[in-house]
C-alpha cells in the first residue's frame, strides 16, 4: 500500500519507515506536525496516513476531519503519547481508523496497517481485473495488432487498459489511435511513489470510453528507467480500476517480461505457420514449464492462418504438444488498411472474418460479454 508518515521526531520517522517498508509498502516520510496532513493528502493521495505527535487537544482533530472528509479513501492512524477515553471517542468521530501509542512498537504498527490492508482487500477484491499477456514468437507475428484489437473488442462491454511493455520499440497506440500520449510508462515509473488511480488514468490515452492505452516510451533511453518493481506497482493499481489489463510484450524474456507473465492469468503466444515461429513457440512453452506455469495458463494464437499453408495446423499442434491452439485468419489487405489508418478493424470492417474471430476470443475471455452484446430478443430466441 501507499503510506504517508508524518512526525516531528526524526527517529520515529526512521523507525516507522523501516518497519513498513519491511512489509513491502511504499512509504513517504514527512518531518513535521499535523498541519501537513491536508497538503500531503492532496498531493500524494495515500492509502494510509500515519500522524505522530498528537496530544489530547480536541482542536487538533480538525486537521484529521479535513483529510477524512476530503479523501475518504485514505485511512488515518494517530500515534499519541497520552490517550484519554474522550480523545479516543472524538478521534473515531473524526474518521480515525486506529489510535496507537507513540512511539509504537514495530509489530503493533505493522498489525494495524495489516488490518487496514485486509479491509481494503475485502472491499476491492470483487473488482480485481484479469491480466492477459500477448507476446510474439518472432518479429512480425502480429501480436500488437491482436492485443490492440482484442482490447477494442473487450471494451464494448468492459473497461480495458492496454499497457505497452515493448519498451524499446512499442507502438501499440498507433494501431488504434493517431494522437500522441500525454505520458508514457517511463513517466509513470518516474512518479511511482505518487502512483494512484488518478495518476494512472491521466497518463493513458482513451481510445474509446472503455479502452485506454498506457504507451511505451518514445525515447529509447527512457526505456532503461523502467524496472520490474515499477511494472508490479502499475499492475497493482490497474487491476483495481479495469476489468481487463492487456500486456503487449516484445520479443525479450527479460526480468520485466517475466514479472508481467507471472502476474498474467492468461498468456497468448502469437505465431505464424512458418518453421522459425514453430521452433520459437516450442522454446517459449518450455520456458513457461520451467517457470512453473500451469498448462491451462497458456494458449497459442496461430495468426494469418491459411488452410493450404506449408506447415498445417495438425503439424503445429503435434509439434507443440498439449497446448490449445486457436487460429486467426489471414486478411492482409483489410488488416493493413486498418493499421495504416490507425483504427480498430472492428470499426473499419466489422463484418471482416478476423474481426469476428477476435470478438469470439473476447467472448472466451469474458463469457458475460456475449449476453451483454446481444439484445433481449436474441437471448430469448437462443434460450428457446
Contact 260, 130 (CB under 8 A): no
| Percent of the residues in the chain that have a pLDDT greater than 90, as a whole number | 58
CA distances from 93 to 56, 61, 96, 236, 362 (A): 14, 10, 7, 31, 47
The pLDDT value given to residue 126? 47
With cut-offs at 50, 70 and 90, classify the pLDDT of residue 334: very high
With cut-offs at 50, 70 and 90, classify the pLDDT of residue 144: very high
Contact 201, 151 (CB under 8 A): no
The pTM score is 0.66
d(CA 13, CA 7): 6
Give the model confidence (pLDDT) of 264-280 as tens digits: 999 999 999 999 999 99
| Structural domains of the chain in order of their starting residue, each with its CATH number | 2-125 (3.40.50.2300), 128-383 (3.40.50.300)
CA distances from 127 to 80, 178, 259 (A): 36, 31, 22
Give the model confidence (pLDDT) of 348-368 as tens digits: 888 899 999 999 999 998 865
d(CA 85, CA 112): 19
| Percent of the residues in the chain that have a pLDDT greater than 70, as a whole number | 92
CA distances from 182 to 217, 233, 262 (A): 11, 20, 29
With cut-offs at 50, 70 and 90, classify the pLDDT of residue 371: very low
Q: Which residues pair with 161 in a beta bridge?
A: 212, 245
Is it true that the peptide bond before 12 is cis, omega within 30 degrees of 0?
Answer: no
The pLDDT value given to residue 56? 63
d(CA 87, CA 89): 5
The pLDDT value given to residue 309? 87
Element (H, E) at 32: none
In this structure, the number of other CB atoms found within 10 A of the CB of residue 232 comes to 16
For 268-304, give the DSSP string. EEEE-SSHHHHHHHHHHHHHHHHTT--GGGEEEEEEE
The pLDDT value given to residue 372? 42
Give the model confidence (pLDDT) of 57-71 as tens digits: 667 788 888 888 888
Amino acid at each position: 500500500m501507499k503510506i504517508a508518515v508524518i512526525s516531528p521526531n526524526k527517529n520515529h520517522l526512521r523507525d516507522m519507515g523501516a518497519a513498513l517498508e519491511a512489509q513491502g509498502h511504499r512509504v513517504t516520510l514527512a518531518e513535521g506536525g499535523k498541519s501537513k496532513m491536508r497538503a500531503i493528502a492532496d498531493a500524494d493521495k495515500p492509502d494510509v496516513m500515519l500522524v505522530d505527535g498528537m496530544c489530547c487537544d480536541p482542536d487538533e482533530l480538525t486537521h484529521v476531519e479535513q483529510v477524512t472528509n476530503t479523501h475518504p479513501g485514505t485511512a488515518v492512524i494517530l500515534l499519541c503519547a497520552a490517550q484519554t477515553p474522550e480523545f479516543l471517542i472524538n478521534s473515531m468521530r473524526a474518521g480515525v481508523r486506529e489510535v496507537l501509542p507513540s512511539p509504537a512498537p514495530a509489530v503493533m504498527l505493522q498489525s494495524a496497517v495489516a488490518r487496514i490492508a485486509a479491509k481494503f482487500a475485502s472491499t476491492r477484491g470483487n473488482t480485481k481485473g484479469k491480466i492477459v499477456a500477448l507476446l510474439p514468437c518472432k518479429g512480425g507475428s502480429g501480436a500488437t495488432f491482436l492485443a490492440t484489437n482484442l482490447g477494442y473488442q473487450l471494451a464494448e462491454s468492459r473497461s480495458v487498459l492496454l499497457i505497452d511493455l515493448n519498451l524499446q520499440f512499442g507502438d501499440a497506440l498507433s494501431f488504434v489511435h493517431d494522437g500522441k500520449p500525454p505520458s508514457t510508462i517511463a513517466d509513470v515509473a518516474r512518479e511511482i511513489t505518487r502512483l494512484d488511480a488518478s495518476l494512472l488514468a491521466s497518463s493513458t490515452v482513451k481510445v474509446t470510453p472503455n479502452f485506454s492505452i498506457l504507451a511505451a516510451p518514445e525515447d529509447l533511453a527512457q526505456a532503461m528507467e523502467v524496472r520490474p518493481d515499477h511494472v508490479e506497482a502499475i499492475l497493482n493499481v490497474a487491476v483495481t480500476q479495469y476489468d481487463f489489463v492487456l500486456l503487449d510484450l516484445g520479443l525479450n524474456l527479460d526480468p520485466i517480461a517475466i514479472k508481467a507473465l507471472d502476474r498474467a492469468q492468461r498468456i497468448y503466444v502469437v505465431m505464424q505457420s512458418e518453421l522459425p515461429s514453430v521452433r520459437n513457440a516450442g522454446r517459449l512453452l518450455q520456458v513457461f514449464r520451467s517457470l512453473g506455469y500451469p498448462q491451462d495458463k497458456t494458449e497459442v494464437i496461430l495468426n494469418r492462418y491459411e488452410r493450404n499453408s506449408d506447415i498445417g495446423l495438425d503439424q503445429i499442434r503435434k509439434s507443440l504438444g498439449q497446448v490449445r491452439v486457436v487460429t486467426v485468419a489471414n486478411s492482409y489487405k483489410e488488416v493493413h488498411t486498418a493499421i495504416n489508418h490507425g483504427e480498430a478493424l472492428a470499426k473499419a470492417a466489422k463484418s471482416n472474418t478476423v474481426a469476428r474471430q477476435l470478438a469470439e476470443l473476447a467472448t472466451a475471455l469474458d463469457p458475460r460479454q456475449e449476453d451483454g452484446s446481444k439484445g433481449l430478443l436474441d437471448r430469448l430466441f437462443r434460450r428457446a
